Amino acid sequence: MSGRRIVVVGSLNADLVVRTERFPRPGETLRGQDLAVLPGGKSANQAVAAGRLGGEVVLVGAVGDDEHGRLLRSSAAAAGVDVSHVLVRAGTPTGTAVITVDAAGENTIVVSPGANAALAPADLPAGLLEGAAVLCLCLEVGAEVVLAAARAARAAGALVLTNPSPSGPVPAGLLERTDVLVLNEHEAAQLGGHGVPRSVVTRGARGCVVHEEGAAPVPVPAVPVEAVDTTGCGDAFTGALALRLAAGDPLVEAARRAGAVAALAAARAGAQPSYPSREELEAFTAASG
């Protein structure tokens, strides 16, 4: 890897969040708290998490020419992320995620892709990955653009970090171009023997397990916190992991540091609003030992 720049290609969503005591059963209506509209989307979240921690981050994606799109671009830019390659699509709504959060901080999410579905390989700027350290990918945009970005990263010598979420078919050829796979237990069970030489399986409050070819799995315990909202915690982990890998950390150490970021995010409400600055993270890790 020739630099420390992180390129994130993928989704930006407005999170429409309602908190309730518990999740509704099929056909049931529950009373919730006031609706909150917050910046989100897996890729935007990962970029903001890395940017807030001081990373040099470029975000590539698409939003609509609407209030949600302006909110998302503004939030990422405020975190220090380069949003000059976030395209504005007139006549197309910004992607949205409808999120319910229960009293235990767990969530359910339904995503409507909007402008994310319009992102195409032609939208990837030529030469963007030259000199980059890490490319972050997820599956909230089309398979063609994900594969095109992975190919460009491989050609440029950048490490490809893939989060195969949301669950579903993984584009053919993506895993063979992936250097590090970050996935939860459900996704790991779905993929089975994925063939990627290095992976991190996240397990929520039980931390994560690091797998590296030729070595025994290494459990990394979570930092204990009282969870308020787990929305976007996996993205906080992925963004922080990308930052530490770009800095040259070994995968186990990168996962340990990323776990602290995810824990702090879980202790606060929202996705991007919960992500810590470098100073907040240092104070948190010092206090938690």
Residues known to be catalytic? 235
Measured in degrees and rounded to the nearest 5, phi and psi for residue 58 equal -120, 130
Residue with tokens 């395209």: 87
Residue with tokens 């970005």: 149
Please tell me whether residue 288 adopts helix, strand or coil conformation: helix
Cross-strand partners of 161: 136, 180
Burial of 273-288, coded b for 16+ CB within 10 Å and e otherwise, reads: bbbbeeeebeebbeee
Of the candidates 44, 246, 7, 258, the one whose C-alpha atom is nearest the C-alpha of residue 125 is 7
Asked whether 94 and 72 are in contact (CB, 8 A), the reply is yes
Of the candidates 235, 272, 278, 236, the one whose C-alpha atom is nearest the C-alpha of residue 74 is 272
Neighbours of 213 (CB within 10 A): 9
Task: Give all strands of the β-sheet with 198-202 in edge-to-edge order.
Answer: 82-89, 57-64, 5-9, 132-137, 159-162, 180-184, 198-202, 208-212, 218-220
What do you get for the CA distance between the two ends of the chain, in Å?
A: 32
Asked whether 268 and 228 are in contact (CB, 8 A), the reply is yes
Please tell me whether residue 253 adopts helix, strand or coil conformation: helix
